[in-house]
Structure 1
Amino acid sequence: MDRLRNYSIPFKGLKEGKHLFNYEIGAEFFELFEQPLIEKGNVKAEVELGKSSALLTLTFKIKGEIDTVCDNCLEALTLPIENESLMYIKFGEEYDEPTEEIIVLPHDEHEINVAQLLYEFICVALPIRHVHPEDEDGNVTCDTDMLDQLDNYLVEEDTDEEQDDDMDPRWAALKNLLDKSSK
């Protein structure tokens, strides 16, 4: 937990206004989390803290690259990421997260740790599918040898007609009744 301390922002002694905090995020950052989705990367994060008498605003600007594995060919892949997010910090009796954009801190709290927020915003910035980009001609740049190997193990699903041919005759009769009733 001590290594997370590097990501704490002490706001109690700060004057009202905007304050900038910069973070270099690499493999050692991702090791701080149990079962991380991301293990390696080179990310720069800028956190702007806006302090007023009523609330704090945190603006996160994240940009960099994440090392992962291609979903198609299983080769190493580096994906660019970019994300800009905003969080509001209010004060109340106890810690709460009423919405995705609002955190309520107890009145006696004097700092906020942004490590988990940084991690979540980096994960959100990743595309759903991790695949090599296409070249300028629109061709896939995945490892063709691996794709050929994977094609050897591809299981083809039967079409509806082929499934009907393999169907038990009793089920086929029931299916015909269903087809007639839907017409």
Structure 2
Amino acid sequence: MRFRLSMDKFKAYNVQFSGLNEGEHDFKFQIDQSFFDLFEFNQDFNQPSIQVKLTLVKKSTFMELHFWHQGTVLLECDVTNDEYTEDVEGGMDVIVKFGNEFDDSDDEVMILPYGEHSINIAQLIYESILLSIPNKRVKPNLSEEELDLLDQFSPFDKEENSDNDDSDPRWDELKKILNKN
């Protein structure tokens, strides 16, 4: 569940929708480290440079928010511990309806209280970007030396398993039990 952002430090991410005509409206945001510093969370990436585009589609009784972001972050390689630049991109769609009280417990539908004139999208941008950062972080183009080290310390012995790639003593015992029936 998201938390409602109402602090002044997030006011740059308030999108005013009252007064807008029905239809599509585009907004752009440049996201860098200062954006992530607003959140009290230890991030495991550096130097974000991300362009966010929001298309707000205003309808008579609800709104559609279509987010798209693209940019780069600096990550640490899981294999070599070297820093490298990773391209990130992604999107998120949210329907905004109106009701008696704020509710963001559904990832796809947000309820704003009647009478609201703007929506703060900082948390939505934050979540969308975090979801686009890979869990497995391996820099592209590992050197021959790094690849040799990976092979050397691999838990699988290539020569031992070359005759029977499916062979694993744990599974072999299970197969024996299953074949008895």
What's the TM-score, normalizing by structure 1?
0.73
Distance 1:32 1:43 in 2: 16
Q: What is aligned with 1:128? A: 135
Distance 2:93 2:145 in 1: 39
Q: What is aligned with 1:64? A: 71
What's the secondary structure of 1:6's corresponding residue?
helix
Indicate how the Cα distance of structure 1 residues 77 and 86 shifts in structure 2: closer, same or farther if over 3 A, else same: same
Q: Any idea what the Cα deviations from partners look like across 1:35-88, whole Å, max 9, x if unmatched?
A: 243442110000011111110111101000011211111111111011122110
Q: What is aligned with 1:19? A: 25
Give the conservation status (yes or no) of the 8 Å contact 1:70–1:131: yes
Query: What code does the residue aligned with 1:40 have?
Result: Q
Indicate how the Cα distance of structure 1 residues 151 and 141 shifts in structure 2: closer, same or farther if over 3 A, else same: closer
Q: Any idea what the Cα deviations from partners look like across 1:147-178, whole Å, max 9, x if unmatched?
A: 96x999x7x7xxx98xxxxxxxxxxxxxxxxx
- The structural deviation recorded for 1:98 is 4.5
Distance 1:142 1:105 in 2: 55
Work out which of the residue numbers 120, 129, 136 in structure 2 matches 1:113: 120
Query: What code does the residue aligned with 2:116 have?
Result: E
What does residue range 3-152 of structure 1 map to in structure 2 within 5 Å?
3-37=9-43, 38-134=45-141, 140-141=142-143, 144=146
Distance 1:91 1:141 in 2: 55
* Structure having greater relative contact order (Cα 8 Å, sep ≥ 6): 2
Distance 1:23 1:117 in 2: 13
Q: Percent identity?
A: 34
User: Highest Rg: 1 or 2?
Assistant: 1
- The structural deviation recorded for 1:92 is 0.5
What's the secondary structure of 1:90's corresponding residue?
strand
Q: What is aligned with 1:169? A: none
Give the conservation status (yes or no) of the 8 Å contact 1:31–1:39: no
User: What is the number of equivalent residue pairs in this alignment?
Assistant: 159
Q: What CA RMSD, in Å, does the superposition of the two structures yield over aligned residues?
A: 2.9
Query: What code does the residue aligned with 1:34 have?
Result: E
What's the TM-score, normalizing by structure 2?
0.74
In structure 1, the gaps of 5 or more residues are 135-139, 162-178
User: Which runs of at least 4 in structure 1 moved beyond 6 Å after TM superposition?
Assistant: none
